[in-house]
Amino acid sequence: MTHPALAPGKTAVITGGASGIGLAVARRMAALGMNIVIADLGADRIAAAVDEIATVAGAGRVEGAETDVSDPAALSTLEARVARDLGGTDVLMNNAAIQSGSAMFGPLDIWERVMAVNLWGVVHGSRIFGPGMVARGGPGLIVNTGSKQGITTPPGDPAYNMAKAGVKVFTEALAHEMRGSAPQIGVHLLIPGFVWTGLTRGDRTEKPAAAWTAEETADFMMESLERGDFYILCPDNDVPRALDEKRIAWAAGDIIENRPALSRWHPDHVDAFKAFVERN
Q: Give the residue numbers marked as catalytic.
A: 160
Q: For residue 215, give the H/E element and its range.
A: helix 214-227
Burial 53-71 (b: 16+ CB within 10 A, else e): beebeebbebbbbbbbbbe
Which of 105, 145, 106, 129 has the alpha carbon at shortest distance from 233? 145
Distance CA 18, CA 38 (A): 6
Instruction: Name the nearest CA neighbour of 186 among 1, 16, 2, 5.
Output: 5
| Contact between 244 and 235 (Cβ < 8 Å) | yes
Q: Alpha helix (H) ranges present in 3-66? A: 20-30, 43-54
Amino acid 223 reads E
Contact residues for 249 (Cβ-Cβ < 8 A; gap 6+): none
232 backbone dihedrals φ, ψ, rounded to 5°: -95, 85
